């Protein structure tokens, strides 16, 4: 149409010199400017996407923090029981939380179930996992947008002048003066622009990779819940153990004070030597100091627990639940391993990371394939809104890659390295899961045996203490043996407390290793 318009404006059918040539030329230029804008096609969408490269490692979720349990053998000072010393290490985001009392009121008494609920709602690890999931879902939508129609509207108001000499018009007519600059003249354009990818394999694989990453992040969020239950449950069990140690030591303080007061009275009556009374005084002071230390440890454990579940970071609350020894539900090692490989959310996330890397590798290879897309526009153009003329364009574009400077080969090599790394991480995680299950299973068996031995040791030492007390009161033995017997009872009770704590941590660790902490926790600890 533009060619026809130009031909019509410059036609001279009679072969005679046209009169008024410069007005005709000026009119041509005035009409040509809006015609150029009207008839020139919109810029075609760049066809042929580039593969989106993934990070080399898929273990991005671990940067937010970690929760690990370990149980190391520690010889008891009684030389009768070898104890397991459990440790729950919570690092990074899982050690913190956002305030939650305003949304979930707190009455000052904290049970294990409520602690877990608060941790799942306000722990910073869960918050980070939730936001990571939202981010991954947003990235998937962005990748999908390259496959869907893109529709935009524009309104253009153009006012311009034209320099004829700059455009190449240097005609001179005797008796006529052609202006060097034409204008100003204007036009207005109301237009809708549509672009649509018809076939772009790279963009399709980019979307599939982003979708797999979103699934991996969803599984990572589920795994974060398991880690929070392990962290909060372990911290609660530590607090219970600290409270039990303090209660045991408190009874020993009362007993030591009673012995010292009695020896002080006997000293005043001349029935015992001063060194015996002094020894009893030192023993009482020793128990008081130990009691203060254990009280301090309990306060710290409560503060640590409060930090994980959104409570104010202080110890001004009570632990309402206990976790006595209760045998774990029977499960064989083979069954535990099978459940772990089937249920562990982090293994599922690693599998989706492999799928994402495979899609990214396919996207890189697809950069060599042709791509097809269409663009179009429809609207009205004219000197003013009242004089608009409807115009439209439609363009189909087929891009055939021939040589891109080696970009496709480089993307393929990069994505291949990522895929190999994701496969290696997946296999490594399988080995780690098997290791976690086997270690927790062994710890559970060892802790169960420890609890039984420690329980009998407490009974024996309490009987020995009672006999020693009777002999000391009758003067058969001195107070040294009684003090030693009392200390052995304290250590035996601590061994039993540590044994129950180790057994409960092993139960919790095994449930986490099997990927079923959420289901196993109420059953393992008889929660209401």
Edge-first strand listing for the sheet containing 389-399: 150-163, 181-199, 371-382, 389-399
Is omega for the bond preceding 202 within 30 degrees of 0, making it cis?
A: no
**Residue 524's pLDDT band (cuts 50, 70, 90):** low
pLDDT greater than 70 at residue 13: no
27 contact partners, CB below 8 Å, separation of at least 6: 9
**Residue 327's pLDDT band (cuts 50, 70, 90):** confident
pLDDT for 491: 85
Over range 102-116, report the average pLDDT.
92
pLDDT tens, residue by residue, 255-312? 888 888 888 887 888 877 788 788 888 888 998 999 999 999 999 999 999 999 999 9
Q: How far apart are CA 169 and CA 326, in angstroms?
A: 100
Over range 469-490, report the average pLDDT.
76
pLDDT greater than 90 at residue 164: no
Q: Poorest-confidence range of 374-388, 422-436, 466-480? A: 466-480
Average pLDDT, the chain: 84
3-state secondary structure 206-237: HHHHHHHHHHHHHHHHHHHHHHHHHHHHHHHH
**Residue 243's pLDDT band (cuts 50, 70, 90):** very high
pLDDT greater than 60 at residue 354: yes
pLDDT greater than 60 at residue 19: no
On whether the CB atoms of residues 419 and 450 are closer than 8 A, the answer is no
pLDDT for 528: 59
pLDDT tens, residue by residue, 363-387? 999 999 999 999 999 999 999 888 9
More confidently predicted of 430 and 18 = 430
Q: How far apart are CA 404 and CA 32, in angstroms?
A: 38
Q: How far apart are CA 41 and CA 77, in angstroms?
A: 89
N-terminal to C-terminal alpha carbon distance within the chain: 82
Closest CA to 99 of 318, 305, 309: 309
Domain spanning 81-144+204-363+425-524, CATH architecture: Up-down Bundle (1.20)
Instruction: Tell me the CB-side half-sphere exposure of residue 346, using CA atoms within 13 A.
Output: 27
Beta-strand ranges (E) seen in 383-493 are 389-399
pLDDT for 76: 55
- pLDDT above 70 coverage of the chain, percent: 86
pLDDT greater than 80 at residue 417: yes
pLDDT greater than 80 at residue 177: no
**Residue 41's pLDDT band (cuts 50, 70, 90):** very low
The Cβ of residue 118 has, within 10 Å, a number of other Cβ atoms equal to 24
pLDDT for 227: 93
Residue with tokens 């068996």: 445
Closest CA to 193 of 2, 394, 389, 399: 394
pLDDT for 333: 94
In DSSP notation, 261-314 reads HHHHHHHHTTSS-HHHHHHHHHHHHHHHHHHHHHHHHHHHHHHHHHHHHTS-SS
Q: Tell me which DSSP letter residue 316 carries.
A: -
pLDDT greater than 70 at residue 198: yes
More confidently predicted of 340 and 273 = 340
pLDDT greater than 80 at residue 431: yes
pLDDT for 33: 44
pLDDT tens, residue by residue, 508-517? 999 999 998 8
What the block records as the tokens of 315 is 């110890």
Q: How far apart are CA 228 and CA 239, in angstroms?
A: 16
Tell me which H or E stretch contains 400. none
What the block records as the tokens of 382 is 């004219």
Please state, in angstroms and as integers, the Cα–Cα distance from residue 473 to each residue in 253, 468, 482, following that order.
Answer: 19, 9, 10
On whether the CB atoms of residues 525 and 323 are closer than 8 A, the answer is yes
Strands 82-92, 65-75: pairing kind: antiparallel
| pTM across the whole model | 0.82
pLDDT for 147: 94
pLDDT for 330: 87
Q: Name the packing angle between helices 274-309 and 479-513 (round to 10°).
A: 20
Phi then psi for residue 385, to 5 deg, are -60, -25
pLDDT greater than 60 at residue 209: yes
Domain ranges of the chain: 81-144+204-363+425-524
Helix and strand numbers (H, E) in the chain are 11, 8
More confidently predicted of 21 and 455 = 455
């Amino acid at each position: 149409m533009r060619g026809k318009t130009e031909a019509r404006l410059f036609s001279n059918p009679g072969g005679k010199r046209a009169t008024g040539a410069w007005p005709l030329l000026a009119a041509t230029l005035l009409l040509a400017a809006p015609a150029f804008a009207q008839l020139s096609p919109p810029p075609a969408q760049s066809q042929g996407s580039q593969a989106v490269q993934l990070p080399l490692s898929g273990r991005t979720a671990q940067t937010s923090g970690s929760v690990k349990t370990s149980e190391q053998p520690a010889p008891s000072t009684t030389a009768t029981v070898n104890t397991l010393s459990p440790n729950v290490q919570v690092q990074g985001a899982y050690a913190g939380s956002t305030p939650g009392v305003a949304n979930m009121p707190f009455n000052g008494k904290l049970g294990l179930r409520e602690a877990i609920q608060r941790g799942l709602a306000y722990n910073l690890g869960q918050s980070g996992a939730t936001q990571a999931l939202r981010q991954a879902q947003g990235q998937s939508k962005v990748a999908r947008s390259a496959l869907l129609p893109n529709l935009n509207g524009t309104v253009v108001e153009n006012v311009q002048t034209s320099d004829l000499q700059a455009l190449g018009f240097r005609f001179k007519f005797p008796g006529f003066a052609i202006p060097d600059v034409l204008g100003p003249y204007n036009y207005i354009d109301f237009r809708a622009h549509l672009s649509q990818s018809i076939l772009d394999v790279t963009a399709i694989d980019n979307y599939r990779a982003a979708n797999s990453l979103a699934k991996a992040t969803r599984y990572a969020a589920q795994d974060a819940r398991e880690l929070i239950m392990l962290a909060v449950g372990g911290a609660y069990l530590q607090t219970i153990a600290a409270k039990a140690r303090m209660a045991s030591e408190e009874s020993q303080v009362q007993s030591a004070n009673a012995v010292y007061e009695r020896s002080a009275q006997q000293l005043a009556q001349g029935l015992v030597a001063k060194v015996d009374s002094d020894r009893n005084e030192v023993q009482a002071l020793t128990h008081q100091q130990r009691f203060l230390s254990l009280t301090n440890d309990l306060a710290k454990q409560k503060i640590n627990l409060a930090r994980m579940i959104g409570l104010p970071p202080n110890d001004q609350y009570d632990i309402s639940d206990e976790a006595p020894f209760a045998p774990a539900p029977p499960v064989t090692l083979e069954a535990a391993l099978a459940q772990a490989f089937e249920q562990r959310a982090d293994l599922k996330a690693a599998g989706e990371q492999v799928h994402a890397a495979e899609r990214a590798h396919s996207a890189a290879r697809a950069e060599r394939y042709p791509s097809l897309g269409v663009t179009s526009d429809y609207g009205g153009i004219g000197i003013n809104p009242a004089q608009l003329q409807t115009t439209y364009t439609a363009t189909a574009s087929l891009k055939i890659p021939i040589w891109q400077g080696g970009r496709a080969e480089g993307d393929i090599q990069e994505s291949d390295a990522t895929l190999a790394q994701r496969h290696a991480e997946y296999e490594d995680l399988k080995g780690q899961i098997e290791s976690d299950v086997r270690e927790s299973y062994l710890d559970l068996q060892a802790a169960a045996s420890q609890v039984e031995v420690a329980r009998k040791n407490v009974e024996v030492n309490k009987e020995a203490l009672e006999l020693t007390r009777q002999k000391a009161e009758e003067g058969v033995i001195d107070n040294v043996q009684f003090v030693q017997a009392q200390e052995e009872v304290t250590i035996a009770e601590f061994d039993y407390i540590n044994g129950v704590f180790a057994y409960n941590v092993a139960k919790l660790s095994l449930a986490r290793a099997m990927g079923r902490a959420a289901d196993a926790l109420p059953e393992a600890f008889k929660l209401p």
